Amino acid sequence: MRGGPGQLLAGRYRLTDRPELLRALAVDERTGEAVLLRAVELPALLTAGQDPDEPNPGHGDRLVRRVATVGSAAPAWHPRLLRGVGAFVEGELLWTVEERPAGWTLADQLAGGPLPPYRAAELAADLAGALRALHEAGLSHGNLTAESVLVCEDGAAMLGGLLDGVAQEALAEDLGGPGGRRRYEVRATLVGAVAERWPLDGGPAGDCWALGVLLQRMVTGRAPFPEGGVPELVTAVRDGRREPAALCGPLAPLAERLLQPDPGLRPTAQAVRAELAALLAGAPEPADGERAARELELKPEAPLVPLRPRRRGRGGGAERVVPEGGAERVVPEGGADGGRISRIPPALLGPLLVGGVFALLVVGMVAVVLFAG
């Protein structure tokens, strides 16, 4: 798409940034809210048997009505569903319009690496709630991918892409018929090799399968099925050839059940949300980990008594150093005296020895006088 900031589409949506391929951010001039525009290309030949030089403008109008029907039936009240505003045709493009709060896509987040399991569980719980609301309204999503999930500034996940998915599926059916090789080829061109878009079955069970694929993508950083090309991907899905769900850690049992080939064995969106809520209720709190780290850094308040390893004393025993009066004293570790410490300072040993000898001499002289007298 050509154009840039300031361009007006459908007389209502003014672009706020340079558009990407089939995607643009804009402001709805009627309401003032930010919106996201997505487009699918409308080829000139839309039905078999028509002259390629004769476009069919009425077909675009029918697609717009189909998209609008789904949009009006979607539960716009749900806090985890991005509201579809509408659709319009301009040139050879069918545009869908969706509200766009501040945030970034899950695909942008995953570009920086996989998510911790409990963070992935938080996002998956939000998405399961959005899917449950759609399923209870009698709708299925069919376009649950990392690109259609918006992670808001508060960390919550919102599910979008509903109208875009409806437009793609409707166009594939109109160009290729209700089934068969032609529809597969058109759909492969529109959808591409995105694992979440190729369940074996549609409806709510297909949405839950796609949630299992996205759950494993969030935790491991890649899809459980090969995405080198559509034929390889579809064959792997059909044969059940995928990476084990054990890579998802605490989410592995849930991912395994969501990816069951039999749709009857998969949990519903409501059951998925309940299971994730129970898992998150027992998740470790980051604050506890931080507190434990701080406790490990604490040192004992009492002074440490350093040991001199393997130093040998005169008695052959090891010695230790003890503090005394701001200095250190080396004492035997064990020994014949049981490790008792002498309290006589070394400087007084000489005078005490001399005094002892003198005292003995005096005692001896006194004894001699007594015996002589």
> What are the tokens at 367?
């004894």
Would you state the pLDDT for residue 324?
45
Contact yes or no for 104/256 (Cβ under 8 A): no
Least confident of 42-46, 84-88, 200-204: 42-46
Q: Give the integer Cα–Cα distance in Å for 273 and 10.
A: 39
Q: How many CB atoms lie within 10 A of CB 329?
A: 13
Pairwise pLDDT comparison (118 vs 369), residue with the higher score: 118
Would you state the pLDDT for residue 369?
54
User: SS3 string of 67-105?
Assistant: HHHHHHHCCCCCCCECCEEEEEEECCEEEEEEECCCEEE
Pairwise pLDDT comparison (53 vs 29), residue with the higher score: 29
* pLDDT average, residue stretch 310-332: 43
* pLDDT average, residue stretch 180-189: 91
Q: Give the integer Cα–Cα distance in Å for 246 and 229.
A: 25
Q: Tens digit of pLDDT for each residue in 123-170?
A: 999 999 999 999 999 999 999 999 999 999 999 999 999 999 999 999
Pairwise pLDDT comparison (315 vs 265), residue with the higher score: 265
Query: Mean pLDDT over all residues of the chain?
Result: 81
Would you state the pLDDT for residue 370?
57
Q: Is the pLDDT of residue 361 over 80?
A: no
Per-domain residue ranges of the chain: 8-283
| In the chain, % of residues over pLDDT 70 | 71
Q: Give the integer Cα–Cα distance in Å for 275 and 124.
A: 11
Task: Specify the DSSP element, H or E, that contains 9.
Answer: strand 8-9
Would you state the pLDDT for residue 328?
44
Beta strands in 149-296, from DSSP E residues, in sequence order: 149-152, 157-159
Q: Tens digit of pLDDT for each residue in 94-126?
A: 999 999 999 999 999 999 999 999 999 999 999
Pairwise pLDDT comparison (53 vs 43), residue with the higher score: 43
> What are the tokens at 223?
């899809």
* pLDDT average, residue stretch 173-185: 85
* pLDDT average, residue stretch 220-244: 97
Would you state the pLDDT for residue 59?
74
Q: Which of 186, 187, 20, 16 is nearest to 105 (CA)?
A: 20
pLDDT band at residue 335 under the 50/70/90 scheme:
very low
> What are the tokens at 114?
């996989």
pLDDT band at residue 225 under the 50/70/90 scheme:
very high
CA distances from 153 to 97, 229, 335 (A): 21, 34, 71
Would you state the pLDDT for residue 12?
95
Would you state the pLDDT for residue 342?
45
Q: Is the pLDDT of residue 353 over 90?
A: no
pLDDT band at residue 6 under the 50/70/90 scheme:
confident
Question: What is 45-69 written as a DSSP string?
Answer: --STT--TTS--HHHHHHHHHHHHH
Least confident of 27-36, 57-66, 70-79: 57-66
Would you state the pLDDT for residue 316?
44
Q: Is the pLDDT of residue 297 over 60?
A: no
Return the ∠ at Cα 17 (arms to 12 and 19), rounded to 5°.
Answer: 85
Would you state the pLDDT for residue 116?
96
Q: Which CATH architecture has domain 8-283?
A: Orthogonal Bundle (1.10)
* pLDDT average, residue stretch 205-215: 98
pLDDT band at residue 76 under the 50/70/90 scheme:
confident
pLDDT band at residue 49 under the 50/70/90 scheme:
very low
Would you state the pLDDT for residue 283?
85
